[in-house]
Structure 1
Amino acid sequence: MSELISRRVIGHAEEFLDAFRVVIVNGPRQSGKTTLLQQLNAGRGGTYLTLDDGPLRAAAQADPSAFITDGSRPMMIDEIQRGGDDLILAIKAEVDRNPERGQFVLAGSTRFLSTPSLSESLAGRAGILEVWPFAQEELAPTGGSFLVAAFDNPEALRSSSLSDHERRDYFELVCRGFYPEAIGMRSEFTRGSWYRTYVQSVIDTDIREMARVDEPSNLGQLLSLAAASTAQEPNIMKISSDLQLHRTTVSRYLGLLETVFLIRQIPAWSRNLTARAVRRPKLHVTDTGLAAHLIGVDADGLAARVSPARGPLVESFIVNEIAKQATWAPFPVGLHHWRVSQGAEVDLVLERNNGRVVGVEAKATDAVKQDDFKGLIALRESLGESFVHGFVFYTGVRSLSFGDRLTALPISALWDR
């Protein structure tokens, strides 16, 4: 399926090839990086190599300087983290000798700048892109970016048309997930088997090659705990107690899970709106299909009258969709959350470099009321003119105005406009 869908980030990839000597493509395993590299290679006439291939990896490690000279440019090397430090140093020496743009595209399943085994980051020589599992915007035939409209023309999102999506449709999307392989699988049983193998592969291959881990099973348990507490601020003390691990080990393991793109930690709002603002990050599993598998819940479970997982998974779904859109937006945007002790909170605070801010709240309900906007109202009053708009996403079918720069939107407005 991934071969049929052009990734939205390809525009930035083409631009980076013309601007940088090296382009680094980061993202989870099985997220579509290989497809992106092959699409770029088809247009640029370069060389594609993957270090998942044992003989190629051995050659790259044995004589990295010779390895990178044998092939036309741009040379696209997949799973670059498996080549080791000497390969990166050889690439650095080559691009320092020849400053021509678009020489290398390096794709990796670990966050390049955070990989402990690599001493060289290619800083100043490389542009970095992230490729995540599909966004629904990429899959929807009428897809349009919420993120751009939210900043540039938020009033246009107040549509009179009804959403085609019902509550159950969202729960199906949440539990299916967005990895290209998982999307093509019809049965929950098959997807569950794929997710189990996927997690084991990431832990046994990517993490163990990257960092020394005494008990890999602890990482799997930690990921399951992260799934059970997605969309929350992680309680390191409780996790330490549950896993019988030291706090520093838990923090390190969370960092490793973030380095391989299984979780993301959304930082707390940094602008000094109030001295009572909570500064802890909020944790989200980066694919809700994976999270649903790890905690053992399906669409029927989310639709039940009482479902503790429903709200957190829907929030992570919305956050992940917006985070993906940020990777191909025409402007940089920071993602934060905001919570005041014993007071207001906003699930997602989006800030551009010009100081303009959009607030987003997630509700797993079919109805929305004025009280659902109290955090956004507090943010609006604190920021004044810098506050562009506040949105509450919910499982209902219509857009609703709730006053000055406040709107309730169906979740499908993230991609269907």
Structure 2
Amino acid sequence: MKYRTRIIEKKVIELFGHFPVVAVLGVRQVGKTTLVEHLPIPGLKSVVFDPVQDVMGARSDPDLFLQNQPRPLFLDEIQFAPELLPAIKREVDRKRKAGLFIISGSQNLMVHKQVAESLAGRVAIVHLLPMSWCELSAVSPVPGLLERLVFEGPEFFRRKQPPSGQPPGIFRAMWRGGMPGTLDLPDHLLHDFFSSYFQSYVERDVRTSAAVSSLQQFGRLFGLLAALTSGQTNHNKLGRELGIDRKTAKAWVEIAISTFQWFELPAYSRNPVKRVASKPKGYISDTGMACYLQRLGSADALAASPLAGAMFETYVVLEIMKRSAAWPVRPGMFHFRTHVGAEIDLVLELNGVLHPVEAKLTTNPRRRDCRAFDSFRAVFPEARVGLGFVVCCCEQPFFLRPDTVA
């Protein structure tokens, strides 16, 4: 498989030149190892850890292990050797120099108290998501349309824009998803890939959790999450569907979050406001996985599914997350919903300015698609609200109204 440049690559290199430790985190098989091994870092040695074997005694004697390894050092899947982290901390504190370690993991290391204390202030964290459209298409990762609109505003329309390439058919892009392992697979083998992937995820990442008493039930929960992507997370409802209590459902969702398979956006609120719904919205990390879990066997099946709109919103939010990961400052990401039904899919907060974003699976956006933007401004009259965006399938960007671009 030919290597595809990742958007985040340049940032990882830059961070490694200024931090003693860089952590590359993300779901299993998302390309963390491949990314790091393609970085132009002279002499970088790799060690891959295993959940069963104590590789080179790293768990039993972490200090001795580190003494016998060169620098710089890439420690892959370090969640299987967490005993190394205090030893890494001691070396970092002693040497006080950049470019010592790159670590990777398919679990959120910072949720563990010991790990958080060991790495706090010493590590730069990069989250690697499944591949974006430009990565899959091998298109040079120039600043994207949304990025330019956020930073340039209306000035964008006064400049001659270079062609950015035509995206693939949207339903096929959503149906295949962005996992690197699917790049060279024909469509008819995607089901086999995701079946194997999901089994490996449950067996390797979930089985070790004491909170999961039934792997079969956890698999059912994950299927429910896929059906609920881009909706508000309701632990009570999940528990009722599975015959488990709310506390257990919440703990299992947190496992999906800590392994980067699921993420949540909080509701936007400057202060606790009763008019604003406070439940987070949840998203699966790859639309291809969601389609597999919902047994959607083709792009045409997805196009005809009632889940198409939710999948499109998920796809849009994921693309924005992937592109913004390389920005100098990552924007805050929220959702907005009032108890009377006004709803905005995504609110970006950057440099003190808020940008409402709606995802609409249409080639013909209308002014009514951004009506909730007015409700948002009414709830937060003192906020600085910049350009709003209706992300859709139109061929060229244009103003829906003076404060909103489609």
Does structure 1 residue 174 correspond to structure 2 residue 171?
no
- 1:101 corresponds in structure 2 to 98
Note closer, same or farther for the CA distance 1:171–1:231 as it changes in structure 2 (3 Å cut). Answer: same
- 2:326 corresponds in structure 1 to 328
- 1:414 corresponds in structure 2 to none
- 1:186 corresponds in structure 2 to 186
SS at the partner of 1:342?
A: coil
Structure 2 counterparts to residues 56-75 of structure 1, below 5 A: 57=55, 59-75=57-73
Higher helix share: 1
Q: Deviation per CA, 1:130-184, whole angstroms, max 9, x where unpaired?
A: 1111111323425432343132113366599999758x81000000010001122
Verify the 8 A CA contact 1:175 1:289 in the aligned structure 2. Answer: yes
Larger deviation: 60-69 or 242-251? 60-69
**1:130 corresponds to which letter in structure 2?**
H
Partner Cα distance (1:375, 1:163) in 2: 30
- 1:387 corresponds in structure 2 to 385
Verify the 8 A CA contact 1:117 1:210 in the aligned structure 2. Answer: no
Partner Cα distance (1:292, 1:275) in 2: 36
Verify the 8 A CA contact 2:232 2:279 in the aligned structure 1. Answer: yes
Partner Cα distance (1:61, 1:229) in 2: 39
Verify the 8 A CA contact 1:24 1:105 in the aligned structure 2. Answer: yes
Q: Deviation per CA, 1:175-197, whole angstroms, max 9, x where unpaired?
A: 00100011221123x11111111
- 1:19 corresponds in structure 2 to 18
Partner Cα distance (2:4, 2:27) in 1: 18
Unaligned runs of 5+ in 1: 409-417
Larger deviation: 309-318 or 356-365? 356-365
Give the CA deviation at 1:284.
Answer: 0.5
Verify the 8 A CA contact 1:160 1:399 in the aligned structure 2. Answer: no
- 2:245 corresponds in structure 1 to 246
Candidates 84, 88, 100, aligned match of 1:87: 84
Aligned residue pair count:
400
Note closer, same or farther for the CA distance 1:53–1:343 as it changes in structure 2 (3 Å cut). Answer: closer
Does structure 1 residue 361 correspond to structure 2 residue 358?
yes
Give the CA deviation at 1:62.
Answer: 2.4
- 1:411 corresponds in structure 2 to none
Partner Cα distance (1:157, 1:238) in 2: 45
SS at the partner of 1:19?
A: coil
- 1:347 corresponds in structure 2 to 345
- 2:107 corresponds in structure 1 to 110
Give the CA deviation at 1:334.
Answer: 0.8
**1:301 corresponds to which letter in structure 2?**
A
Partner Cα distance (1:209, 1:266) in 2: 27
Give the CA deviation at 1:365.
Answer: 2.0
TM-score (normalised: structure 2): 0.91
Structure 2 counterparts to residues 222-237 of structure 1, below 5 A: 222-237=221-236
- 1:219 corresponds in structure 2 to 218
Note closer, same or farther for the CA distance 1:121–1:378 as it changes in structure 2 (3 Å cut). Answer: farther
**1:180 corresponds to which letter in structure 2?**
P
Q: Deviation per CA, 1:254-293, whole angstroms, max 9, x where unpaired?
A: 0000111111111111324953010100011010000011
SS at the partner of 2:97?
A: coil
Verify the 8 A CA contact 1:337 1:346 in the aligned structure 2. Answer: yes
Q: Deviation per CA, 1:316-357, whole angstroms, max 9, x where unpaired?
A: 0000111111211121211100011114211000002x3111
Does structure 1 residue 49 correspond to structure 2 residue 43?
no
Larger RCO, structure (CA 8 Å, separation 6 or more): 1
- 2:125 corresponds in structure 1 to 128
Verify the 8 A CA contact 2:109 2:116 in the aligned structure 1. Answer: no
Larger deviation: 366-375 or 253-262? 366-375
Query: Percent sequence identity over matched residues?
Result: 31
SS at the partner of 2:169?
A: helix
Partner Cα distance (2:42, 2:162) in 1: 42
SS at the partner of 2:363?
A: coil
- 2:374 corresponds in structure 1 to 377
Note closer, same or farther for the CA distance 1:160–1:201 as it changes in structure 2 (3 Å cut). Answer: same
- 2:203 corresponds in structure 1 to 204
- 1:415 corresponds in structure 2 to none
SS at the partner of 2:208?
A: helix
SS at the partner of 1:402?
A: strand
Q: Deviation per CA, 1:25-71, whole angstroms, max 9, x where unpaired?
A: 1111111110121123x423221111149656252122211111222
Partner Cα distance (1:107, 1:34) in 2: 8
SS at the partner of 2:119?
A: coil
Verify the 8 A CA contact 1:61 1:87 in the aligned structure 2. Answer: yes
Unaligned runs of 5+ in 2: none
- 1:302 corresponds in structure 2 to 302
SS at the partner of 1:388?
A: coil
SS at the partner of 2:64?
A: helix
Note closer, same or farther for the CA distance 1:248–1:239 as it changes in structure 2 (3 Å cut). Answer: same
The Cα RMSD (Å) is: 2.4
Note closer, same or farther for the CA distance 1:326–1:161 as it changes in structure 2 (3 Å cut). Answer: closer
Give the CA deviation at 1:23.
Answer: 1.1
